[in-house]
Amino acid sequence: MADIIQLLPDHVANQIAAGEVVQRPASVVKELLENAIDAGADSIKLIIKDAGKTLVQVIDNGKGMSTTDARLSFERHATSKIRTADDLFHLHTKGFRGEALASIAAIAHVELKTKQEHDDVGNTIEMEGSKVVSQEVIVTPKGTSVSVKNLFFNIPARRNFLKSDTVELRHVIDEFHRVSLAHPSISFVLYNNGSENFNLPISNFRQRIVNIFGNKTNEKLVPVEENTEVLKISGFVGKPEFAKKTRGEQYFFVNNRFIKSAYLNHAIASAFDGLLKNGTHPSYFLNLEVDPQTIDINIHPTKTEIKFDDEHTLYALLRSAVKHSLGQFNIAPVLDFDRDPNLDTPYSYKSNTASTPKIEVDRSFNPFQEETNSRARAVAYKKEPATSWESLYVGLESKGNQTKQDFSEVHFESEEQTVSIFEDENEIKQVNTTYQLHNKYIVSTIKSGMLVMDQHRAHQRILYEDFLKNMTIKEATSQQLLFPLQLHFSKQDIDIINQLKDDLEHTGFMFSNISKESIDIIGVPVGVPESEVSIILEQLISDVENEVPDSNFSATDLLAKSMAKSLAIKTGQSLQKDEQEHLVNKLFACKEPNVSPTNRTTFVTMSVDELDKKFI
The DSSP line for 66-109 is: -HHHHHHTTSTT--SS-SSGGGGGS--SS--SS-HHHHHHTSSE
Q: What is the mean pLDDT of the chain?
A: 80
**Domain-embedded: residue 198:** yes
pLDDT at residue 224 is higher than 80: yes
Q: What is the pLDDT of residue 159?
A: 84
State whether residue 497 is helix, strand or coil: helix
* Spatial separation of the C-alpha atoms in residues 339 and 156, rounded to whole Å: 71
Range 78-90 average pLDDT: 59
Number of domains the chain is built from: 3
Q: What percent of the chain is modeled with pLDDT above 90?
A: 20
Q: Contact 164/66 with Cβ under 8 angstroms?
A: no
**Are 25 and 159 found together in one domain?**
yes
Q: What is the DSSP letter of 570?
A: P
Q: What is the pLDDT of residue 428?
A: 39
pLDDT band, residue 78 (cuts 50/70/90):
low
**Domain-embedded: residue 337:** no
**Domain-embedded: residue 356:** no
The DSSP line for 246-279 is: S-TTEEEEETTEEE--HHHHHHHHHHTTTTS-TT
* Spatial separation of the C-alpha atoms in residues 449 and 119, rounded to whole Å: 87
pTM for the model: 0.67
Range 253-263 average pLDDT: 87
Q: What is the pLDDT of residues 393-440, one digit of tens each?
A: 666 655 555 544 555 555 555 555 555 444 444 443 444 478 888 888
* Spatial separation of the C-alpha atoms in residues 407 and 425, rounded to whole Å: 41
Q: What is the pLDDT of residue 223?
A: 92
**Domain-embedded: residue 615:** no
pLDDT band, residue 489 (cuts 50/70/90):
confident
Q: Which of 437, 419, 405, 239 is nearest to 325 (CA)?
A: 239
* Spatial separation of the C-alpha atoms in residues 318 and 324, rounded to whole Å: 10
* Spatial separation of the C-alpha atoms in residues 207 and 217, rounded to whole Å: 10
Q: Which of 444, 414, 462, 422 is nearest to 605 (CA)?
A: 444
pLDDT at residue 284 is higher than 90: yes
* End residue of a domain, out of 179, 202, 225: 202
**Domain-embedded: residue 99:** yes
Beta strands in 385-427 (DSSP E): none
Sign for the pseudo-dihedral over CA of 316, 318, 323, 329: positive
pLDDT band, residue 73 (cuts 50/70/90):
confident
Burial 144-157 (b: 16+ CB within 10 A, else e): bbbbbbebbebbee
Higher per-residue confidence, 105 vs 381: 105
Strand 187-192 versus strand 43-49 pairing type: parallel
- Mean pLDDT lowest among 347-361, 457-471, 506-520: 347-361
Q: What is the pLDDT of residue 345?
A: 62
Residue range of the domain that includes 274: 206-328
pLDDT band, residue 187 (cuts 50/70/90):
very high
Give the best-scoring range by mean pLDDT among 10-24, 350-364, 498-512: 498-512
* Spatial separation of the C-alpha atoms in residues 365 and 375, rounded to whole Å: 12
**Are 158 and 233 found together in one domain?**
no
Chain-centroid distance of CA 411 in Å reads: 58
Range 334-355 average pLDDT: 63
**Are 210 and 193 found together in one domain?**
no
**Are 170 and 271 found together in one domain?**
no
**Are 155 and 134 found together in one domain?**
yes
Any idea what the CATH number is for the domain that residue 117 is in? 3.30.565.10
* Spatial separation of the C-alpha atoms in residues 152 and 603, rounded to whole Å: 45
Q: What is the largest CA-CA distance in the chain?
A: 134
Q: What is the pLDDT of residue 232?
A: 92
**Are 142 and 225 found together in one domain?**
no
pLDDT at residue 494 is higher than 50: yes
* End residue of a domain, out of 299, 328, 357: 328
Q: What is the pLDDT of residue 79?
A: 66
Residues 6+ apart with CB under 8 A from 484: 512, 520, 521, 522
Strand 284-289 versus strand 250-254 pairing type: parallel
* Spatial separation of the C-alpha atoms in residues 239 and 249, rounded to whole Å: 12
Q: What is the pLDDT of residues 2-50, one digit of tens each?
A: 677 878 777 677 666 666 678 889 989 998 998 899 888 999 999 999 9
**Are 180 and 299 found together in one domain?**
no
**Domain-embedded: residue 335:** no
**Domain-embedded: residue 423:** no
Q: What is the pLDDT of residues 229-243, one digit of tens each?
A: 888 999 999 988 888
pLDDT band, residue 318 (cuts 50/70/90):
very high
Q: What is the pLDDT of residues 547-587, one digit of tens each?
A: 644 444 566 777 778 778 888 888 888 888 888 888 988 89
**Domain-embedded: residue 313:** yes
Bridge partners, residue 134, by sequence: 126
Question: At residue 542, what is the residue type?
Answer: S
**Are 191 and 220 found together in one domain?**
no
* End residue of a domain, out of 293, 328, 363: 328
Q: What is the pLDDT of residue 74?
A: 82
**Are 459 and 551 found together in one domain?**
yes
Bridge partners, residue 362, by sequence: none
**Are 95 and 214 found together in one domain?**
no
Bridge partners, residue 135, by sequence: 125
pLDDT at residue 285 is higher than 90: yes
Report how far apart, in Å, the C-alpha atoms of 514 and of each of 37, 196, 473, 497 are. Answer: 36, 18, 25, 9
Long-range contact list for 402-411, CB < 8 A, 24+ apart? Answer: none
Range 246-267 average pLDDT: 86
Any idea what the CATH number is for the domain that residue 588 is in? 3.30.1370.100
**Are 446 and 562 found together in one domain?**
yes
Q: What is the pLDDT of residue 278?
A: 79
Any idea what the CATH number is for the domain that residue 232 is in? 3.30.230.10
* Spatial separation of the C-alpha atoms in residues 94 and 114, rounded to whole Å: 20
**Are 178 and 247 found together in one domain?**
no
* Spatial separation of the C-alpha atoms in residues 22 and 507, rounded to whole Å: 40
Report how far apart, in Å, the C-alpha atoms of 54 and of each of 108, 162, 239, 510 are. Answer: 10, 12, 40, 36
